[in-house]
Amino acid sequence: MKFKFPHKRNSARDLIRRCGYGEWHDIEFDKISYTRKLGKGNYPRFHVYINDFEKYFEIDLHLDQKQPSYASGHAHSGEYEGDTVTAEAQRITAVISQIYGM
């Protein structure tokens, strides 16, 4: 699920961390993303990629249910829609809106 916010005084990195996400560096693809665990283990977890544009940033959110079972590649068991993902998108939007004073 993708949704966006205008750039204001806070960086996208700062905002998503204030939503409870920790930075995660995928060494295989050399890419930074953010995760928020739903329990004691690493899975299930929400997983966010941030895409920066000139006037706004986009949050690309999905739910990883389990660790990928592939040797290499991009396929995994991520959910990009559904009630759980929608509720998390609404939670992130509420936190960022509160920070922005909207």
For 51-80, how does the pLDDT look when each residue is reduced to its tens digit (9 = 90+)? 999 999 999 999 999 876 655 555 556 899
Q: Where residue 28 falls among pLDDT bands split at 50, 70, 90?
A: confident
3-state secondary structure of 50: strand
Q: How far is CA 98 from the centre of its chain?
A: 18
Question: Is 0.75 topped by the overall pTM?
Answer: yes
The number of domains in the chain is 1
Which structure tokens are listed for 102? Answer: 């909207």
Torsions phi, psi of 19, nearest 5?
A: -85, 5
- How far apart (Å, rounded) are the C-alpha atoms in residues 57 and 45? 22
Q: Where residue 8 falls among pLDDT bands split at 50, 70, 90?
A: very high
The domain of 30 spans 2-100
Higher pLDDT, 99 or 66: 99
3-state secondary structure of 5: strand
